[in-house]
Amino acid sequence: MTTEKGSSASLGRPCILIIVVAGVERFAFKGVASNMVNYLTGVVGMSTAAAAQSVSAWVGITSMLPLVSAVLADSYWDRYSTVTASSLLYVAGLAGLASWAMLHKWLPWATLFLPLYLISIGQGAYNPSLQAFGADQLDIGDEDEDGGGGGTAEEKGKVKSAFFQWWYFGICCGSLLGNTTMSYVQDTVGWGIGFAVPCAAMALSVAAFLCCTPLYKKISQPRSADRPCSESILRALKSLLASVSAGKIRLSSRHDGQDDGDGKNNASELE
């Protein structure tokens, strides 16, 4: 009982706020992305194949951009600065998309991709940096020191588990609301309002995040002079190569086992 109370109490206001902010971000992104193919076909006039290809490329680039933002956050900026800068780009992209939806009759259709990829840049740096920044707010002390402020290793593990469970619950709720409610609003009320609501929600969440800046615990990150960018990239490549090598070893051992089994079966059949 004491451990459970301590674990739940360690999720203070900064952690709870960041979990809510993450859920709002998922609501905003899914509210835009879930119905984008219908928007490109129904309003912009693209074919279904071209619209699906454009949305797939947009989502794919958005998913790959955290690889770039991780180097930026770890080697040049800290996590708070990365979250702040990327959130402003994110809101600017959502505002540009809502404005384009209201003024699309007077704008070239190609300009639509400017706010879309501005959203990609913002989301690619915002989402992973926000999660790491939220983990920094956990009151578990320094793991390298014995008897840190967070108690025993078991209690620290429960605090981390509680944070990431609630984090996952928050982003799932945001994604569900974005996929369901915003698709209905966009199809029935209009695309301008349908894109303006995610923009307003994201802007309010960013404002709440920035207003609570004095509550945050900021962990200083090593600068590029102390930890070069090339070192981070090399470390990531070594991890990737090690994972690929381990996968090949497991596959080869599996095939060897299958070959041995086939040989035994053939020998028994000959007998």
Residue 23 region, left (φ>0) first, then alpha (ψ -120 to 50), else beta? alpha
Q: What is the pLDDT of residue 7?
A: 40
Query: Measuring CA to CA, how many Å separate 97 from each of 92, 93, 105, 240, 271?
Result: 9, 6, 14, 36, 74
Closest among 84, 79, 85, 171 to 134, alpha carbons compared: 79
Q: What is the pLDDT of residue 253?
A: 55
| Structure token pair of residue 79 | 């996590």
Clarify whether residues 134 and 185 are in a common domain: yes
Residue 130, CA atoms < 13 Å, CB-side half-sphere: 30
> Torsions phi, psi of 223, nearest 5?
-80, 175
Clarify whether residues 108 and 75 are in a common domain: yes
Work out the end-to-end distance of the chain between its first and last CA atoms, rounded to an integer number of angstroms. Answer: 65
Residue 142: helix, strand or coil by DSSP?
A: coil
The last residue of one of the domains, among 215, 237, 252, is: 215
Q: What is the pLDDT of residue 177?
A: 95
| Structure token pair of residue 161 | 């588990």
Residue 220 lies in a domain: no
Clarify whether residues 14 and 87 are in a common domain: yes
Clarify whether residues 54 and 163 are in a common domain: yes
Closest among 210, 168, 206, 178 to 90, alpha carbons compared: 206
Model confidence, pTM:
0.75
Clarify whether residues 244 and 201 are in a common domain: no
Clarify whether residues 193 and 237 are in a common domain: no
Domain of residue 252 covers 228-271
Task: Count CB atoms within 10 A of the CB of residue 53.
Answer: 14
> What is the count of structural domains for the chain?
2
- Which segments of the chain are extended strands (E)? none
Mean pLDDT by 10 residues, the chain (271 residues): 44 89 96 94 92 94 88 82 94 96 90 94 92 84 48 77 92 95 93 96 96 84 52 62 63 54 50 51
Residue 223 lies in a domain: no
Residue 12: helix, strand or coil by DSSP?
A: coil
CA distance 193 to 32: 11
